[in-house]
């Protein structure tokens, strides 16, 4: 998917949201601004940006990774913090595979013939 990423050109497509759903775009922008407000939140901005980066890495959203890694650095994050954030996201994603693997074993039981005694 990242082969389609073009930081500068992709922003031009926001025009579709602006022309077709301006009310929703405005509501989303206000929501996003509230979530990432520099002040007035309990979790400091640097940590909110690192959380967002971890989610972006987990969902593999190149736009989120781009924006939130830069915003985290602007908010004071170090390379070590970016690295640990990436490892946290990796652990959660791998843990999801592990946990859902167990679910596969459980659901596979439905396909097994019942024991007859």
pLDDT tens digit sequence for 58-110: 999 999 999 999 999 999 999 999 999 999 999 999 999 999 999 999 999 99
pTM, two decimal places: 0.83
Q: Return the pLDDT at 116.
A: 59
Would residue 40 count as lying in a domain?
A: yes
Residue 51 to residues 13, 32, 42, 100, Cα–Cα distance (Å) = 26, 14, 14, 23
Tokens 């509501």, residue located: 27
Tokens 């939140």, residue located: 41
Q: Provide the token pair at 116.
A: 């007859």
Q: How many domains does the chain have?
A: 1
Q: Identify the CATH number of the domain in which residue 105 sits.
A: 1.20.1290.10
Q: Which domain holds residue 43?
A: 36-111
1-42, pLDDT tens digit by residue?
677 788 889 889 999 999 999 999 999 999 999 999 999 999
Would residue 86 count as lying in a domain?
A: yes
Residues 6+ apart with CB under 8 A from 66: 5, 7
Q: Return the pLDDT at 117.
A: 57
Would residue 3 count as lying in a domain?
A: no
Cα(13)–Cα(22) distance, integer angstroms: 13
Would residue 62 count as lying in a domain?
A: yes
Residues 6+ apart with CB under 8 A from 58: 89, 92, 93
Would residue 105 count as lying in a domain?
A: yes
Would residue 30 count as lying in a domain?
A: no
Q: Return the pLDDT at 106.
A: 93
């Amino acid at each position: 998917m990242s082969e389609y990423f073009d930081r500068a050109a992709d922003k031009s497509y926001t025009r579709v949201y602006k022309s077709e759903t301006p009310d929703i775009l405005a509501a989303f922008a206000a929501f996003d601004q509230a979530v990432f407000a520099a002040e007035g939140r309990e979790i400091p901005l640097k940590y909110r940006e690192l959380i967002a980066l971890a989610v972006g890495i987990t969902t593999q959203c190149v736009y989120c990774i781009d924006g939130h890694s830069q915003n985290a650095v602007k908010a004071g994050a170090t390379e070590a913090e970016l690295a640990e954030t990436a490892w946290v996201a990796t652990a959660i994603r791998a843990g999801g595979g592990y946990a859902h693997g167990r679910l596969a074993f459980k659901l596979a039981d439905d396909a097994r013939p019942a024991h007859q005694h």
